[in-house]
Amino acid sequence: MILKRIILCLGMLLCFMACNRFKGPKKPENLIPQDKMINILIDSKLLSSANSANKRTLIDSNLDVNTYVYQKYKIDSLQFADSNAYYAFHIDLYDAIYNKAIDSLNRLYEQLKDLQAEEWKAQTQKEIDEPIERGVKRDSLKFIKPIMD
C-alpha cells in the first residue's frame, strides 16, 4: 500500500517536472512581426505554387524560392525558423497569421478569376466583331445540323 503511494507520488512529480519544461520557445530578439510574417507566408505559397506549375521556368531563371523570399524581406533562415517556432508554439497567434494569409490568397484568387473572365469576354467580343469589321456576313444556317429522318 505504501509502495503504491510512493510510486504514484513519484509518477506525479515526474509528470509535473516534465510538463513544466514545455513553456515553449522564448520570444526571439529578432522576431518577425506578424504583418511581415503574413506577407512572407503569402509569397512562399505563391512561389511554391508557381514552382509546381512552371518548374522549368524557375529552373531556367535560377530562382530559389527560399532565397528569394529571404532576400526580399531582408531576413535569414535562422530568423525565420526562430520566428516560425515561436508562432507555432503560440497557436492562437499562428492561427491568426495563417487565417489572414489565407484570406489574402483567396482575395487574390477572386481577382484573378475576375481578370480572366474580363479577358475571355474581351477575346470573345473581338472574335464576334472581327468578321463584321471586314464586311463578312455570317450565315447562321450553316451551323444548324440537318435533321436526319
pLDDT of the residue at 53: 65
pLDDT of the residue at 107: 93
Q: What average pLDDT does the chain have?
A: 79
pLDDT over threshold 80, residue 131: no
pLDDT of the residue at 99: 94
In a domain, 13, yes or no: no
Q: How confident is the model at residue 68 (pLDDT cuts 50, 70, 90)?
A: confident
Which range in 34-43, 59-68, 126-135 is most confidently predicted, on average pLDDT? 34-43
In a domain, 9, yes or no: no
Contact yes or no for 24/85 (Cβ under 8 A): no
In DSSP notation, 12-40 reads HHHHHHHHHT-S-PPPPTTPPPHHHHHHH
In a domain, 94, yes or no: yes
Average pLDDT over residues 3-22: 65
pLDDT of the residue at 19: 60
In a domain, 68, yes or no: yes
Number of domains in the chain: 1
The residue segments making up the domain with residue 93 are 33-127
In a domain, 88, yes or no: yes
CA atoms within 13 A on the CB side of 22: 6
> Could you tell me the three cell numbers for 142?
450553316
In a domain, 59, yes or no: yes
Residue % of the chain over a pLDDT of 70: 68
pLDDT of the residue at 20: 54
Q: How confident is the model at residue 16 (pLDDT cuts 50, 70, 90)?
A: low
pLDDT of the residue at 82: 93
> Would you give the distance in Å from CA 76 to the centre of its chain?
20
In a domain, 110, yes or no: yes
In a domain, 39, yes or no: yes
pLDDT, tens digit, for every residue of 80-116? 999 999 999 899 999 999 999 999 999 999 999 999 9
- Look at the pTM and tell me if it is higher than 0.75: no
